[in-house]
Amino acid sequence: MEFTIGQIASLLKGKVEGNPDLKVSRLDKIQEGQPGGISFLANEKYEPYLYQTAASAVIVSEEFRPSKSISTSLIRVKDPYLGFTQLLEAYAEFNKAALVGVEQPSFIDESSSIGSNAYRGAFSYIGKNCSLGQNVKIHPQVYIGDRVKIGDNTIIHAGAKICADTQVGANCEILPGAVIGSDGFGFAPQEDGTYKAIPQLGNVIIEDQVSIGANTTIDCATMGSTIIKKGAKIDNQVQIAHNVIIGENTVIAAQAGISGSTEIGKNCIIAGKAGIVGHIKIADQTTIGANTGISKSIKKSGETLLGYMGMEMKSFLKSYSIFKNLERLENRIRELEKKP
C-alpha cells in the first residue's frame, strides 16, 4: 500500500518539511534508504546518512537542525524513534486487517461458525462444532480440529495445527507450523517390556494476547488442561508437555522444553534451550539462563539460574571460572603433595 508523507505526518502528529504529496510504500533503514521509502533519525551517530539517503522522507525530532543541505523531505515529531515505531505498528496492523474473505478451496464443517471480517486461506481446514470470533485470520493450510474455540482478532499462520478441543483466546498469534493440542507423551510400561498408550483426553487452553512461535509444540493434557496464561510469549521450536501451566507474561525463548505437569509462575524469563523437568513449580519472576537444566522446584521468586543443573547464577559462574582452570588447581595440589 502507499501513503503520502502528509498522511503519515498526520498519523504521527508531526509537521512536513518538503512535499506532502510524495508517496511512500516502504520502511527503510536510513543508510539503505531508496526512493519510495521512509526512514528515521534518532541517534546522532546516523546523522551523516541523512545527507546521503535516497529515502523519500525521514522522520526527525522537532529540535533537529541539519548541518548540511538535505534533498529528502522531513517529518518533524517530538520523538522520532517512537514515531517510527508507531508507523511500524500501523503498517503491521494495516497488513493484518487487509486480509479478509475466503480463498478456495477451503474446508469448514457446516456445524462451525466464524465471525465477521475474518479470513480463511486456501486449503485451510476447520472441523466440527468450532466457534471462531470476529477478525480471526486463518491462513492457508491451517488445521483446526473439532470443537476448537478461537477469540476475536487472533491470527493463525500458515500450516499451524490446532487440534481438537483447544481453546485460543483473543488477540493471539500462532506462527506457522506450530502444533497445539496433539497427544501428550504418556505410555504405561507393561510387564513384557512394551508400552501401552495412556489416552490423552484433556485439552490446551491459550488465554488472550499469547504468541506461539513457529514449529512449537504444546501437548494436550492427559485430563484437564495444559494452560498458557494471558500475555505469555513463546518462541520457535519450544516444547510444552501435557498438563503444564505457563504463567502470565512469561517469556520462553527458542528450543526450550518444559516437561509434563510443571507449573511456571508469572513474569518468568526462560532462555533458549533451557530444559525443565516434570512435576515441579517455578516461582514468579524467575530467570532461567540459556541451556540451563532445572530439576527441582524454585520456591523463591526473582532468582536467576544457570548451568547444567541450574544453580544460582553467581555461584555457577564462580564454579565455572575455576572449572576452566582445573588443571592449575590440580597442579597446586601436586605442589603441596611434594612438600615434605
Give catalytic residue positions. 242
Strands 3-4 and 23-24: antiparallel
Q: Are the beta carbons of 309 and 295 closer than 8 angstroms?
A: yes
Which position among 170, 198, 280, 313 is part of the footprint of a second copy (CB under 8 A)?
A: 198
From the list 5-13, 62-70, 111-119, 151-159, the region that binds a second copy by CB under 8 A is: 151-159
Which position among 2, 63, 110, 327 is part of the footprint of a second copy (CB under 8 A)?
A: 327
Contacts of 10 (CB under 8 A, 6+ apart): none
Which position among 53, 243, 259, 262 is part of the footprint of a second copy (CB under 8 A)?
A: 259
From the list 9-17, 50-58, 66-74, 87-95, the region that binds a second copy by CB under 8 A is: 87-95
Q: Which is nearer to a second copy, 134 or 236 (by Cβ)?
A: 236
Closest by CA position to 139, among listed 91, 95, 90, 88: 95
Q: Are the beta carbons of 40 and 60 closer than 8 angstroms?
A: yes
Instruction: State how far the Cα of 242 lies from the Cα of 259, in Å rounded to an integer.
Output: 8
Which position among 2, 65, 105, 116 is part of the footprint of a second copy (CB under 8 A)?
A: 105
Computed on alpha carbons and rounded to an integer, the radius of gyration of the chain in Å comes to 26
Q: Which is nearer to a second copy, 73 or 255 (by Cβ)?
A: 255
Cα 310 → chain centroid: 24
Q: Does 296 bind a second copy (CB under 8 A)?
A: no
By CB under 8 A, the count of residues binding a second copy is 95
Supply the minimum distance, in Å, between the C-beta of residue 300 and a second copy.
17
Supply the minimum distance, in Å, between the C-beta of residue 54 and a second copy.
16
Summary count for the chain: helices (H), strands (E): 5, 40
Q: Does 173 bind a second copy (CB under 8 A)?
A: yes
Q: Which is nearer to a second copy, 17 or 274 (by Cβ)?
A: 274
Strands 73-77 and 15-17: antiparallel
Q: Which is nearer to a second copy, 111 or 319 (by Cβ)?
A: 319
Torsion sign, CA atoms 106, 117, 113, 201: positive
Q: Does 79 bind a second copy (CB under 8 A)?
A: no
Q: Does 229 bind a second copy (CB under 8 A)?
A: no
Instruction: State how far the Cα of 84 lies from the Cα of 54, in Å rounded to an integer.
Output: 18
Q: Does 148 bind a second copy (CB under 8 A)?
A: no
Cα 265 → chain centroid: 18
Q: Does 304 bind a second copy (CB under 8 A)?
A: no
